[in-house]
Structure 1
Amino acid sequence: MIRKLLIANRGEISCRVMKTAQRMGIRTVAVYSDADSDALHVKMADEAVHIGGAPSKDSYLRAEHIIEVAKRLGVDAIHPGYGFLSENARFCRLCEQNDIIFVGPPVGAIEAMGSKSAAKQIMEKAGVPLVPGYHGDDQSVETLRSSAQSMGYPVLLKAAAGGGGKGMRQVWSDDEFDAALDAAKREAQSSFGDDIMLVEKYLTQPRHVEIQVFCDQHGNGVYLFERDCSVQRRHQKVIEEAPAPGMTEQLRSAMGEAALKAAQAINYVGAGTVEFLLDSDGQFYFMEMNTRLQVEHPVTEMITGVDLVEWQLRVASKEPLPLQQSELKLHGHAFEARVYAEDPDNDFLPATGHLRLLRPPLENRHVRVDTGVLEGDDVSVYYDPMIAKLVVWDEDRTKALARLAKALTEYHIDGVTTNVNFLYNLATTPAFMDAQLSTNFITEHEAAIFHRDASEHNGLLPVAALYLLLDQQNKVPQQQDDRFSPWQQHNAWRANEQHVQSLTLRLNDDDFDLRVKRLDNGYSIDYQNQTFVCHGELSGNSLIANVDGHRSEFVVVEHESGHSLFAPGEALRFTRVMPDLGLDDDTGHDAGFTAPMNGTVVALAVEPGQMVDKDQTLMIMEAMKMEHALKAPSRGKVTEFFYQPGDLVDGGAELLAFEADQGASS
């Protein structure tokens, strides 16, 4: 049995592996970079070792250095988690050469599935159904374009060595092909050091259904049912669930057997996931096999009662699988929502910041939170911006979905923009509740998911105003010898006049003018011919508000840019707008083209002085493993680029100078 385990990873998955290992009596070793010196996974481990600088290439991707650390500390085994070195055949081989157990499949299996094109060829020989596509060695633009033309648009360009949506582009017509290919190859080279591409027919209404397989070193193999991972953005999963809605026992068995056939074709050992595209006609096609533990593995654990990490450690110790196929039972339904630091209203742009407030819902047998961060941590530019995985379970899909929605209303995060409100809106969208799933779900139901109408926040206006009024009253400095003086009151007191004041609130980006009257026990707040009678109690961040007889509880956090109000189903940023006394210096200068965050300039798409059209790409940046294109706001030209490809750029830095064509309309 493994006695000492090094987890060659960070964040949430490192913490999750440690929990099981420590429960099994296995001593754990964490590794960390400069950016993670005070991280949760470092604090949880029995031992922790610094391995380098913040960039992954200087720390978590240093295979030889991690092996040296493992040998020095007498480690028996290394668990790679997911990402980083988890599917790196060279790292697996280094473990083998140094008599260290690699908690994962053998080198040959990783190599077989490491190239998507080679994997397709293996699966074809094994009789696993494939999506029509080109997986050949000829990588000329002409050959790739000809393949796309012959199978018909739309097609999907995919990095052969890819994963996680990196190096992937949809192409809908021939005139888009070259630009999409360049972008996919560039992103693939940056993410995987390999720009070999394959071309596949793009199914327009597919579901993404994957099978969890597990094989031991004694020839045994099982599948632990399926997960539906259809709901995605940027080809990355958002909410996963198990089992897949509408799955028949016949189809489940067929997909499970096909997945086991795929695993056996490469002599697989350990936990693996075989991903399929399930078409609307019930046909399914092999997409890829991930030779590691998946991010969404908790939903499988919740419906089977199996600890997949424990199985990994036991199989790596040469034990047989704990259960046979006939002993595996499916019970209930589970969802996993990925909580990210990102801005859904800005094309899911990753966000960085300081976690001033981090209050997840309480965990119990129905609710599980897998995380790698604590309140007070920073979400940095160096790694994936996942904050946590929120996992819920109940007896059926309807009940589980209700638990997911409730748990999301109880997830309070401040200091960084997150997708929590987006997740709640998505989970409560009628189409999602009816399981009308496809990989295009977010695009097709955008209007129902994204709520941008300012009037929707009107119901929270009196709550936000009440908070400011109570907070103002609580902060009154009382002088012991004159505490009844009207000059000590902050309640709009006027001699011989009603206690009335004007209050302007900015909710998100909209301003609201209110009139407030002081009552004997609270306030009367007027807005656009509506009157709200409010009173409440404020203690720290907790607000109990009674608006027109409706009592509710809220959490409010103050920060440098205002306040954040956490209400059931949404987080609302608001601030008090002070009267304009004519003292502001409004220069009228445009913010220009600034970097959205720290990153690297990847490419300049035009030449200085070249006339461009509105929405034409000018520059491409890469940040947090994703590419971001800066586009022209109107017809015009770039007069100067301030950075060149390869340059590191700080968030907020001016990137280029743009001159609009005065004769063009923006």
Structure 2
Amino acid sequence: MIKKILIANRGEIAVRIIRACAELGITSVAVYTDADRHALHVKKADESYYIGPDSQAGYLSIHRMVNLARASGCDAIHPGYGFLSENAGFARQCEARGVIFIGPTAAVIERMGDKLAARAAMIAAGVPVVPGSEGNLSGLDEAVVLADEIGYPVMLKATTGGGGRGIRRCDTPDDLQRNYDRVLSEATKAFGSAEIFMEKAVVNPRHIEVQILADAHGNVVHLFERDCSIQRRHQKLLEIAPSPQLSDAQRELIGELAVRAAQAVGYTNAGTVEFLLDQDGSFYFMEMNTRLQVEHPVTEMITGIDLVQAQINVAAGLPLPYAQQDIARNGFAIEFRINAEDPQNDFLPSFGRITRYFAPGGPGVRTDGAIYTGYYIPPHYDSMLAKLVVWAPDWDGLLRRGRRALHDIGVYGVKTTIPYHLQILGTSAFIEGHFDTGFVEAHPELTDYSLKRSSREMAAAIAATLAAHRGL
């Protein structure tokens, strides 16, 4: 059994892993840079270690992480998401040094991180893929010829890309000419590779992903799907489980396709198979994320399965304690990404000090975060402050509870996406459960809101201020 885990990450996901470790009786080890010296994950871990002044380099140093794990007596490393979580070299170094990597094998990470290799594996397994290039594009001339063959619009994608970077849609030959070098540059800077490929663009699809779990004993299950269609610039804003847009037949099909995809590559641990659902109801494999997803809590809420604990148990060599028929879905869950951004100013980051923070509560409400009153949000990292997760037994109840929870939460001192989420919940398309990846662009009016606080919010803020003053 795993006894001590180094968490090679920071912020919200580090806190989430620390909580899972506490419930399993496992010692948690946090790491931090100068920017995170006062971060919540450092305060909550059983042990914490400084990894240098550079806000990024410390979390991206493979050898530093593995050496620290060995020196501090850890028998495993959890990479979280982002940073080194999908770095095959990191997983391989853990394996070489006798440290358990809580995730899939290095070989699987490498294969699925290569978009073309992943496409080839899915084609061989009979999982439908979007029409596109058979290999990396040799240059702009080949791209122009292929785009004419498959028809515009097309997508240029970094072969080793992810997270919405290194991807451009081209609607015309002029767009292709203009974007080709841009994608090459983005791919090189973000992923260290100048390899790109092309796919037919599926216009305004629904983005549906399936959570899978697989152990080292050949057992693979899916935990149903999540709808991630509401996004901006390929970055998700909120996620829902299960999707209100799928029929039972579609839900069964996509679950089977995800399991088949995982089996085809010998996958182990937690992973996500992402699909595009086009307007005529066809599913196409998009990519596989070989790590825990930001939005995993909505799956936990509808299945009752702790995914982080499941990851740790699988990494320890234990078989999954359930078969597919044992996993049931219950109700609906939604995750609102509470970001330090100003939606009324093109979603520009809004870093700074949180002057007051009120966590929401009540039935069916969960908050995963790493913020507190007085915390200074550093400008070096992702702008996500917290994940507000809401569960209800039905869709209408979810909408009502979501509005209530968004009114409950209070983050002051910085701009946030809270009022924008409230706007989304008020649109008829969302209420009716009909939306796709073009939702944000189709609703520019969502940023037309007032920041004037309600009398209830003002009263709560005044009461908190008075209480704080009396305590001085």
1:580 is matched with: none
**C-alpha spacing 1:73/1:445, structure 2 compared with 1 (3 Å):** same
1:450 is matched with: 447
1:41 is matched with: 41
1:238 is matched with: 237
SS at match of 2:285: strand
* Contact kept? 1:211, 1:226, Cα under 8 Å: yes
Structure 2: which amino acid aligns with 1:129?
A: P
SS at match of 1:190: helix
* Contact kept? 2:137, 2:197, Cα under 8 Å: no
* Contact kept? 1:108, 1:266, Cα under 8 Å: no
Summarize the alignment of residues 547-562 of structure 1 with structure 2, pairs less than 5 Å apart: none
- Which whole-Å CA distance do the structure 1 matches of 2:453 and 2:365 have between them? 31
* Correspondence 1:82 to 2:81: yes
- Which whole-Å CA distance do the structure 1 matches of 2:185 and 2:408 have between them? 40
Summarize the alignment of residues 474-489 of structure 1 with structure 2, pairs less than 5 Å apart: none
How far the C-alpha of 1:233 sits from its partner, in A, is 0.4
* Correspondence 1:436 to 2:423: no
1:173-218 deviations in Å (ceiling 9; x for gaps): 1112233222222222222222321211111131000111110000
How far the C-alpha of 1:126 sits from its partner, in A, is 1.2
| Structure with greater strand share of residues | 1
SS at match of 1:213: strand
- Which whole-Å CA distance do the structure 2 matches of 1:242 and 1:461 have between them? 31
SS at match of 1:59: helix
* Contact kept? 1:5, 1:29, Cα under 8 Å: yes
**C-alpha spacing 1:38/1:542, structure 2 compared with 1 (3 Å):** closer
2:470 is matched with: none
Structure 2: which amino acid aligns with 1:366?
A: G
Summarize the alignment of residues 85-234 of structure 1 with structure 2, pairs less than 5 Å apart: 85-234=84-233
How far the C-alpha of 1:379 sits from its partner, in A, is 1.8
Structure 1: which amino acid aligns with 2:124?
A: K
**C-alpha spacing 1:181/1:360, structure 2 compared with 1 (3 Å):** farther
1:567-625 deviations in Å (ceiling 9; x for gaps): xxxxxxxxxxxxxxxxxxxxxxxxxxxxxxxxxxxxxxxxxxxxxxxxxxxxxxxxxxx
1:425 is matched with: 423
How far the C-alpha of 1:416 sits from its partner, in A, is 1.5
1:498-553 deviations in Å (ceiling 9; x for gaps): xxxxxxxxxxxxxxxxxxxxxxxxxxxxxxxxxxxxxx99945579xxxxxxxxxx
Structure 1: which amino acid aligns with 2:71?
A: R
Summarize the alignment of residues 24-423 of structure 1 with structure 2, pairs less than 5 Å apart: 24-56=24-56, 58-362=57-361, 364-423=362-421
Structure 2: which amino acid aligns with 1:174?
A: P
Structure 1: which amino acid aligns with 2:75?
A: D
- Which whole-Å CA distance do the structure 2 matches of 1:392 and 1:242 have between them? 10
1:615-659 deviations in Å (ceiling 9; x for gaps): xxxxxxxxxxxxxxxxxxxxxxxxxxxxxxxxxxxxxxxxxxxxx
How far the C-alpha of 1:37 sits from its partner, in A, is 0.9
| Structure with greater helix share of residues | 2
How far the C-alpha of 1:450 sits from its partner, in A, is 2.2
1:107-146 deviations in Å (ceiling 9; x for gaps): 1110110111211111111111001112413331221232
* Contact kept? 2:225, 2:251, Cα under 8 Å: yes
1:280-334 deviations in Å (ceiling 9; x for gaps): 2221000000000000000000000000011101101110001100000110000
Instruction: Give me the TM-score of the superposition, normalised by structure 1.
Output: 0.68
SS at match of 2:25: coil
* Contact kept? 2:136, 2:159, Cα under 8 Å: no
* Contact kept? 1:54, 1:382, Cα under 8 Å: no
Range that drifts further, 298-307 or 239-248: 239-248
The structure with the larger Rg is 1
1:591 is matched with: none
Structure 1 residues without counterparts, runs of 5 or longer: 468-535, 544-554, 556-666
Structure 1: which amino acid aligns with 2:55?
A: P
**C-alpha spacing 1:358/1:152, structure 2 compared with 1 (3 Å):** same
**C-alpha spacing 1:186/1:360, structure 2 compared with 1 (3 Å):** farther
* Contact kept? 2:245, 2:434, Cα under 8 Å: no
SS at match of 2:321: coil
- Which whole-Å CA distance do the structure 1 matches of 2:184 and 2:345 have between them? 24
Runs of 4+ aligned structure 1 residues displaced above 6 Å come to: 461-464
- Which whole-Å CA distance do the structure 2 matches of 1:385 and 1:416 have between them? 11
Structure 1: which amino acid aligns with 2:126?
A: G
* Contact kept? 2:206, 2:435, Cα under 8 Å: yes
Instruction: Give me the TM-score of the superposition, normalised by structure 2.
Output: 0.95
**C-alpha spacing 1:540/1:118, structure 2 compared with 1 (3 Å):** same
- Which whole-Å CA distance do the structure 1 matches of 2:118 and 2:454 have between them? 59
1:524 is matched with: none
Aligned residues: 466
- Which whole-Å CA distance do the structure 1 matches of 2:128 and 2:460 have between them? 63
- Which whole-Å CA distance do the structure 2 matches of 1:64 and 1:441 have between them? 43
- Which whole-Å CA distance do the structure 2 matches of 1:204 and 1:431 have between them? 18
* Contact kept? 2:187, 2:193, Cα under 8 Å: yes
Summarize the alignment of residues 534-573 of structure 1 with structure 2, pairs less than 5 Å apart: 539-540=462-463
How far the C-alpha of 1:243 sits from its partner, in A, is 0.5
- Which whole-Å CA distance do the structure 1 matches of 2:216 and 2:315 have between them? 8
- Which whole-Å CA distance do the structure 2 matches of 1:417 and 1:86 have between them? 29
* Contact kept? 1:273, 1:292, Cα under 8 Å: yes
Structure 2: which amino acid aligns with 1:3?
A: K
* Root mean square deviation of aligned Cα: 2.1
